[in-house]
Amino acid sequence: MTKKRVLVTGASRGIGRAVMRRLADDGYRVTGLARKAPEDLRADEEFHCIDLADLEATRALVTELAAEQPFYGLINNAAMSPVTSLDECSIQDMNDAAQLNLHAPLVLTQVLVPGMRAAREGRIVNLSSRAALGKVNRTAYSASKAGIIGMSRTFALELAEHNITVNVIAPGPISTELFRTASPPDHPRTKALMAAVPLKRVGSPEEIAHTVAFLLEERGGFMTGQTLYVDGGLTISAVHL
């Protein structure tokens, strides 16, 4: 039996790496994309190195991959986050965030959707962030992550008739290398963040991967156009940091 094929971006570390590993364990044929391959790449995982901000190179590579076998799933996880105050945020920061966080998911979706339409099934999961609701010093990031929610809802409406679902996962604080570097545990802002999380902890990449796996399986097929905040309850807390 041919395995269903899934594409995961930003798959070299953090959430993307956990998603790739979980979906491979679940029996999918998983293809990962990122600028660098993970050091622990397994024999059952396919990987291609690409700068996803290079949209034409990305389109060419994924078109070639899709010609080999159509994709059932697309996980748009790769992202970048300029850290700037309102006064410091530049148009270039906005453009850089949009290029990777919005434009690349658009290109990838455009390339893979024809195969999903032909198969009459597909699952698209776009990664947003709790920061889409607002976060200090993240103007460009918050704007692009809010944008992916609106874009996904529109995709969901257009693709529903083809049995293709489109959903969003918006993680809160997750224990990734990026989070640990940006939020040292002893920093006052990190301590305040942990105090604001009702579950009093950060999440793990594997918990996000589990949510992705739910959305991809057959029993997740009646959900589309939705945003799931996987954040330990932070979005319902009285304090937002």
Report the distance separating Cα 123 and Cα 71, nearest Å.
9
Enclosing domain of residue 38: 5-175+204-232
Report the distance separating Cα 187 and Cα 174, nearest Å.
16
Residues pairing with 168 in the sheet: 126, 227
Report the distance separating Cα 39 and Cα 116, nearest Å.
31
Report the distance separating Cα 93 and Cα 80, nearest Å.
10
Quick check: is 72 catalytic? no
pLDDT of residue 238: 60
pLDDT of residue 239: 54
**Total domains present in the chain:** 1
Does some domain include residue 224?
yes
Set 28, 72, 141, 229: catalytic member: 141
Does some domain include residue 182?
no
SS3 content of the chain, % helix, strand, coil (to 5): 50, 15, 35
Does some domain include residue 90?
yes
Host H or E run for residue 171: strand 164-171
Number of Cβ within 10 Å of residue 179's Cβ equals 18
pLDDT of residue 73: 98
Does some domain include residue 193?
no
pLDDT of residue 33: 98
Report the distance separating Cα 17 and Cα 157, nearest Å.
29
Reduced to 3 states, what is the DSSP secondary structure of residue 56?
Answer: helix
pLDDT of residue 138: 93
Q: Would you say 100 and 108 are in contact if contact means Cβ atoms under 8 Å apart? A: no
Does some domain include residue 45?
yes
Backbone angles phi, psi at 78, to 5 degrees: -60, 140
Does some domain include residue 167?
yes
Does some domain include residue 194?
no
Backbone angles phi, psi at 86, to 5 degrees: -55, -45
pLDDT in 10s for each residue of the chain, 241 residues: 689 999 999 999 999 999 999 999 999 999 999 999 998 998 889 999 999 999 999 999 999 999 999 999 999 999 999 999 999 999 999 999 999 999 999 999 999 999 999 999 999 999 999 999 998 899 999 999 999 999 999 999 999 999 999 999 999 999 888 777 777 788 888 888 888 899 999 999 999 999 999 999 999 999 999 999 999 999 988 655 5
Structure tokens at 106: 């658009």
The DSSP secondary-structure symbol of 133 reads: G
| Residue among 159, 155, 203, 200 nearest 179 (CA) | 203
Does some domain include residue 180?
no
Give the domain CATH number at 109.
3.40.50.720
Q: Would you say 66 and 111 are in contact if contact means Cβ atoms under 8 Å apart? A: yes
Tell me how far the alpha carbon of residue 117 is from its chain's centroid.
22
The DSSP secondary-structure symbol of 13 reads: S
